[in-house]
Structure 1
């Protein structure tokens, strides 16, 4: 039986949560995966399901499309803010690579289309506040936390409006204040922030309070706890109220290669400040479960899982590019001329560019990996790949691992390729244009192969294992590859279906019977 926290077992960092009626909605960072900004729904604060996405693309830039040697790894959409005001849902965030701040609105968060507009300029980890008097503000920043007034329609910074630094991080820290979330509750303004004081040895969550935005903000520590995962403090996220007047925070914790995973933290108010416990520790699992017993607002609701299997049999009567299951996201923008669902079933990925390695493979289809253990199996037809092509399934991150079929001088070989941690550098991208390391190979005489990856995140193991079936049953390659969360990609590990060409475009691979299993 798994522990309750971390609550979602997969990579949903920088969460922001609201409640509308009996439904809770969450958004989080999705960076360079598309469609972007998943909308998740829950009725019990424990189980979540994807119900919508905010955008299919942002700018359609060459980097978003993985053209030439460009990419937006480690960039894209960060730390969205989610609000509901006067019947309208608002989402805002800044794009790290484009240096714009985007605002999206809809009146139907689950089924509606989102209207987009933007302002030039970058507001780091912004949070929206609709004040009682009709004025609108954003808080944002790193180290220096600003508040800036916007026009009521969010079209621009309000000329002559409030714009000032309200909080400054003067502690001796590894990470200065960021990840702001602002709320007005019972006449007080509360700003929640993450930082990493050297004295604590981990990231921590603090809260500031003021009765006037022009007044002085008082500080209290809220959470200093790694919940048994040494040095990996729980911090950064939003708070939400329940129908019975209780409060809960959704923060996240670094959990190694699987990513940054949400943690649920019940809280109350004491002496006018949000309060978790005297020792700043998150309540015990027993107490959290007792709190959650009263919060299930739809006991009969059946949740879709955050991961899914897929036989790739869709209705393609009208289009060969149907909406795929919600759990899938493309690594960077897909190129529609390079993928389709076939009439008889199967996902076909066709190479439209030359790529030296996996990270530049266009039309890679991905799903988040789940902790503590998960596996994915897929059947692939490689009869259409060309000389130099590599097609298969991968554990996708900067230090990736893949098992696939390579067409090497017109001979098919089963290969495992990896990139090791010491070969990854956040600032030196030259490694991105070097071939992967082949650590296993075997000539095969079939065009249809079943491939499998198992991932084990138990106790920080963070290891992937690779298997194949070329007609003789599933065989262990004997390769174990250490996975690693790095700032080069800045996302948790994912399963990815891929096909890339090292010599010439045009090769095709067809994927069928994708089976995803996770340990509950």
Structure 2
């Protein structure tokens, strides 16, 4: 959720925990953004179940925008300080998703995003918008950075290349981009005070902006705009963090006036221990069915997507379809044509084949591209001299699969130098890792915890070594197991193997916190940094993400 720091505590206090009583639901409007449908076409050759289960993706993808282009669905999500930013997910059925690319190739918004004299933790890519413009066959990503200005990137394919189209001096906070039926570009944005801007035909400048709605004090905060035109009506879909969803409707054009309806409030979600589904987008299937793809607060794992069908009232308001008064843990599968291919699984083995990273990987801040390479294996050369992992460049992250999963890494440490630290972390504002330390020519495998940050994301603890073992040779297999079921702090455990088969537990369980304020959930992270001098390197031959 993208909220100014001074407002976070007040807003999230509204959000609360689990077991909330389902609130009133009002019609939820569909949007002229994309289309799909429920259940699978008989004879399509798909071996799909009759129902899907929520969450549809048990990984951290928040502030979702979702569209359909032809027979393909795309979604975008927040990534804060991770680079590249704004992943684009792809699906052919709204249930099975893959990561196709990133709309923001690099966070080139200042040196703090390089871990160079400053840090960009919990800044960067907040709630932003993804749209497709049929007139020129182009995808548009739009988002504001640091409350300073808005950036627009474009590409003709979601895999890229994505290029910056323009910078607009107005920061469109939590923006939703609409390509109208006459090809005009509009942006809905704001917090509590909601505005609409019209862009120039080429999308490079603002030609008009106007406040269109002020949130009643009885509702509180509304933000996270998504902008739609459906059946000639304009809709702005807004979230009340983090327990409600509202919608505005105008019959008089994009600049209003708008009337408001509540879509959901304090609705029980589909994940035990998790929060209320909210802040997502609406999409229509090829057959005319409508769906709402929202996220559920599910820390320590993060904010994970859940899908529910939508119907409409006769006067044009959307309604979430409930199961026993709650957002369903399962629903009938969307009816869609057979996909052209199976999507790439979000778990499995990566041997870093080829010469580029797969799009499931994101760096902690921008990397130093002179200090890493992929060539049938990942080489991480030390890029920073520091005793603080939160300052170390070229830490490579991977989302954790819920509810529980394990990451296993094959590490060649033969080129490490004295003072180097390399390994596999559970990374967040409170972190721990298993890895290799080389000091005085001696190599040990260690478990380190108590890496911590404060609420301003400054380091308060650089880690304490709590267990170690000597290793010989040049390779070790490292393993981290993570339980990210929400509702409580959960354990992460570490182990290692010198023969590749038999694993030895190392150190105590690490408690992964479930506080929301870092926003991003825990991630697995590969790192290699120096504490004495640059020059060392490690090679990751294999990474495997597996579930029980």
- The answer to whether the Cα contact below 8 Å between 1:24 and 1:41 also exists between their aligned partners in 2 is yes
Figure out how many residues of one structure are paired with residues of the other and give that number.
492
Query: Match of 2:300, SS?
Result: helix
- The answer to whether the Cα contact below 8 Å between 1:82 and 1:89 also exists between their aligned partners in 2 is no
Tell whether 2:319 aligns with 1:275: yes
> Who is 2:258 aligned against?
217
> Who is 1:310 aligned against?
350
Query: Match of 1:189, SS?
Result: strand
Could you state the TM-score of these two structures normalised by the residue count of structure 2? Answer: 0.83
Match of 1:457 among 462, 473, 484: 484
Post-superposition Cα deviations, 1:233-268, rounded to whole Å, max 9, x if no partner, equal 110011011111111111101111111001102101
Measured after TM superposition, the shift of residue 293 of structure 1 is 4.5
The 3 A distance-change label for structure 1 pair 24 and 282 is farther
- The answer to whether the Cα contact below 8 Å between 2:382 and 2:530 also exists between their aligned partners in 1 is yes
Match of 2:211 among 164, 170, 184: 164
**In structure 2, what is the Cα distance between the partners aligned to 1:3 and 1:135?**
37
Measured after TM superposition, the shift of residue 112 of structure 1 is 5.2
- The answer to whether the Cα contact below 8 Å between 1:355 and 1:500 also exists between their aligned partners in 2 is yes
Match of 2:227 among 158, 172, 182: 182
Measured after TM superposition, the shift of residue 215 of structure 1 is 4.1
Measured after TM superposition, the shift of residue 304 of structure 1 is 0.5
Measured after TM superposition, the shift of residue 282 of structure 1 is 4.7
> Who is 1:504 aligned against?
533
RMSD: 2.6
- The answer to whether the Cα contact below 8 Å between 1:266 and 1:283 also exists between their aligned partners in 2 is no
Query: Match of 1:359, SS?
Result: helix
Tell whether 2:458 aligns with 1:429: yes
Gaps of 5+ in 1: 197-201, 315-321
Matches within 5 A, 1:366-445: 366-419=397-450, 423-427=452-456, 429-431=458-460, 434-445=461-472
Matches within 5 A, 1:78-227: 78-85=126-133, 86-97=135-146, 99-110=148-159, 113-158=162-207, 161-171=208-218, 173=220, 176-196=221-241, 203-212=243-252, 213-224=254-265, 225-227=267-269
Post-superposition Cα deviations, 1:445-502, rounded to whole Å, max 9, x if no partner, equal 3432111001112354532110012359310114211113556642121111110112
**In structure 1, what is the Cα distance between the partners aligned to 2:144 and 2:346?**
25
Tell whether 2:298 aligns with 1:237: no
Tell whether 2:367 aligns with 1:323: no
Could you state the TM-score of these two structures normalised by the residue count of structure 1? Answer: 0.87
Gaps of 5+ in 2: 1-48
Matches within 5 A, 1:260-271: 260-270=303-313, 271=315
- The answer to whether the Cα contact below 8 Å between 2:145 and 2:151 also exists between their aligned partners in 1 is no
Measured after TM superposition, the shift of residue 48 of structure 1 is 0.7
> Who is 1:75 aligned against?
123
Query: Match of 2:390, SS?
Result: helix
Matches within 5 A, 1:241-252: 241-252=284-295
Match of 1:34 among 83, 104, 118: 83
- The answer to whether the Cα contact below 8 Å between 1:167 and 1:217 also exists between their aligned partners in 2 is no
Range moving further from structure 2, 484-493 or 373-382: 484-493
Query: Match of 1:400, SS?
Result: strand
**In structure 1, what is the Cα distance between the partners aligned to 2:230 and 2:318?**
11
**In structure 2, what is the Cα distance between the partners aligned to 1:338 and 1:107?**
30
